[in-house]
Amino acid sequence: MKLLPFIALPALLLLAGISAFPYLTPISYEAAAVQVAETVATSTPPKPPPAKHLPSPEPLKAIYMSQCVSGTPSIRNNLVKLVEDTELNAIIIDIRDFTGKISFPTDNPLLKDSVSDACGAKDMKEFIATLHEKGIFVIGRITVFQNPYYTKQHPEQAVQRKSGGVWKDNKGLAFVDVGAKPYWDHVVELGKISYELGFDELNFDYVRYPSDGPMAEADYTWSRGKSKVVMLEEFFKYLSDALRPTGAVLSADLFGMTATNVDDLNIGQVLERALPYFDYIYPMVYPSHYPPGFNGYKNVNANAYNIVQFSMKRAADRAAATTTIVAALTHTPIASTSPQLYAKPAYDRKKMRPWLQSFDYPVPYTPAMVEEQIKATYDAGLTSWLFWDAANKYTSLRQVLKKE
C-alpha cells in the first residue's frame, strides 16, 4: 500500500508527457507538477466571457418585438432602425411567448426540449450584443403561468377542470397552477440563462391566475389552503430571492385595473403585493381593455388620455404612499385604525411604467390617440412608457415619433 504514491506519480507524469525518471529527463518534481497543472488547464475549454449588460435607462421608451419577428432579420432590423432613428431606447423581446416555447437555443437540460422550432432567433446572443453596441437596452419578456407546452408535459401541475382533465381558457390555452411550486424553479432557471445570454431586464407577464374562460370549472389543486393573493405574492418573493443575486433588472406586467383597484380582480394581482419584489411595475393600461363605464367613461376608447392619466397617477400615488389598506407579507398593521391600515415601504413613483396601446382594437388607434397616452403618462408625473403592438407594425406610433 505504501508503494502506491510512487507508482501513481510516474503514471501521472507519463500521461502529461513527462519522463518519470530523472536519469532520462533531468527535471525536478516541482517543475513536473507545474507541467501537469498546465496540461490539465489547457485541456479544459475556457468559459465564455460573461455577457455585457446595459443599465436601465431613465426615462425608458420601449417597443415590443415578438418571438417570430426576433428570428426574421428583415423585419427585426426595421424595428431596430425605428429605435435608432427616434427617441426610443429599448426593445422588449419574447423569451417565451403564449406557446410555452422559448425563443433561443439552449443546452440547459431543464429547458432544451422547450426550444421553439417555429419561432425564435438562433442568433439571439449575437443579436443582443448588436443591440448593446447601438446602446439599446434589451428586455426579455417571459410568459409565466399561461404555458400550454409545459402543461402538456406536466398535466398534473396545470389548472384542472372540475369535471376532469386540464382546464383551458377561451383561446384553448392551458395555465400552470400558480401554487405548483415545482414549476417555480423552471421559471427561475429560464430567467438565469436569459440573463447570462445578455438580456438586461427580465419582464414577467401572465403572472396571474386565469381570467377568461369557463371560470366556474377551474380547480386550483396546488393552491388549496391559500388565497390567490397570498399564493401569488409567495411566488413573487421566491422569484425575486432567486434572481436578484444575478444582477438582472426585474419587472412584472399587471392588469391595467390593478392601478386603481385594491381587490385582486379574481386573478391574484394586487399592486401593493407586487411592488416589493420588482424593480419596475408595468400596468397594461390599454384603453380598449377597460369596461364601458370605467370611471364614468361610457366610451373608453374616446377617453384614452383620461384613462391613462387617471390610472397611472393613482398607481404612482399608491407606490409612494407609506400606508395602505392592503395586507401583504411586507406590511405591518397599524394599531387602532378602522378600517385597518398597514405601514408599507414608500417606493419611487417612477417605479411605475405603463404599457400603452398602438394597435387597432376595437377601433383604429390613431396617432392622436397614441399621442394622448404619452401626454397622459407625463401628466401623471411619470417619464417612461412601453408600447405594445402584437403585429409589430406600430403604424400610429411611427407617425408620432417621426413628428417628434
Tens digit of each residue's pLDDT (9 = 90 or more) over 237-276: 999 999 999 999 999 999 999 999 999 999 999 999 999 9
Mean pLDDT, rounded, for 363-390: 98
- Whether 55 maps to a domain, the answer reads no
What is residue 18's predicted lDDT score, i.e. its pLDDT? 41
- State how far the Cα of 191 lies from the Cα of 29, in Å rounded to an integer: 47
Q: Domain check: are 98 and 236 in the same one?
A: yes
**Is pLDDT at 45 greater than 70 in this prediction?**
no
Give the least confident one: 27-36, 51-60, 148-157: 27-36
Q: Domain check: are 32 and 78 in the same one?
A: no
Cell, residue 229: 393573493
**Is pLDDT at 24 greater than 50 in this prediction?**
no
Q: Domain check: are 255 and 127 in the same one?
A: yes
Residues paired with 205 in a beta bridge: 143
Q: Domain check: are 9 and 83 in the same one?
A: no
Q: Domain check: are 35 and 149 in the same one?
A: no
Position 50 confidence tier, pLDDT thresholds 50, 70, 90? confident
Residue 207's CB: how many other CB atoms inside 10 A? 24
What is residue 49's predicted lDDT score, i.e. its pLDDT? 76
**Alpha-carbon torsion (231, 152, 192, 59), positive or negative:** negative
- Whether 341 maps to a domain, the answer reads yes
Residues paired with 65 in a beta bridge: 93
- Whether 240 maps to a domain, the answer reads yes
Q: pLDDT tens digits, residue range 160-189?
A: 999 999 999 999 999 999 999 999 999 999
Position 403 confidence tier, pLDDT thresholds 50, 70, 90? confident
**Is pLDDT at 110 greater than 60 in this prediction?**
yes
Its domain, for residue 23, covers 4-43
What is residue 1's predicted lDDT score, i.e. its pLDDT? 40
Q: What angle do CA 358, 360, 361 make, to 5 degrees?
A: 115
- Whether 369 maps to a domain, the answer reads yes
Percent of the chain with pLDDT over 90: 86
Q: Which are the contacts of 13, defined by CB distance < 8 A and separation ≥ 6?
A: 19, 20, 32, 36
Q: pLDDT tens digits, residue range 283-293?
A: 999 999 999 99
Q: Domain check: are 157 and 11 in the same one?
A: no
- Whether 228 maps to a domain, the answer reads yes
- Residue 36: CA atoms inside 13 Å, Cβ hemisphere, count? 17
Q: Domain check: are 28 and 162 in the same one?
A: no
Q: Which of 84, 152, 73, 153 is nearest to 120 (CA)?
A: 73
Q: Domain check: are 32 and 88 in the same one?
A: no
Position 30 confidence tier, pLDDT thresholds 50, 70, 90? low
**Is pLDDT at 23 greater than 60 in this prediction?**
no
- Whether 347 maps to a domain, the answer reads yes
Mean pLDDT, rounded, for 76-92: 98
- State how far the Cα of 70 lies from the Cα of 52, in Å rounded to an integer: 20
The helix (H) or strand (E) run that includes residue 62 is strand 61-65
Q: Give the CA distances from residue 312 to residues 249, 302, 355, 369, in Å, rounded to whole numbers and listed in that order.
A: 21, 18, 10, 16
Give the least confident one: 16-25, 89-98, 131-140, 386-395: 16-25
What is residue 42's predicted lDDT score, i.e. its pLDDT? 53
Q: How many domains does the chain have?
A: 2
Residue with grid cell 410568459, as numbered in its chain: 143
Position 310 confidence tier, pLDDT thresholds 50, 70, 90? very high
Mean pLDDT, rounded, for 223-246: 98
- Whether 54 maps to a domain, the answer reads no
Q: Domain check: are 29 and 86 in the same one?
A: no
- What angle, 0 to 180 degrees and rounded to 10, lies between the N-to-C axes of helices 228-243 and 181-197? 40
**Is pLDDT at 69 greater than 50 in this prediction?**
yes
Q: Domain check: are 390 and 260 in the same one?
A: yes
- In the predicted model, what is the mean pLDDT of the chain? 91
CATH number where 193 lies: 3.20.20.80
**Is pLDDT at 151 greater than 90 in this prediction?**
yes
**Is pLDDT at 386 greater than 60 in this prediction?**
yes
Decide: pTM greater than 0.95: no
Q: Domain check: are 313 and 366 in the same one?
A: yes
- Measure CA 28 to chain center: 57
Q: pLDDT tens digits, residue range 153-164?
A: 999 999 999 999
**Is pLDDT at 5 greater than 50 in this prediction?**
no
- Whether 233 maps to a domain, the answer reads yes
Q: Domain check: are 23 and 65 in the same one?
A: no
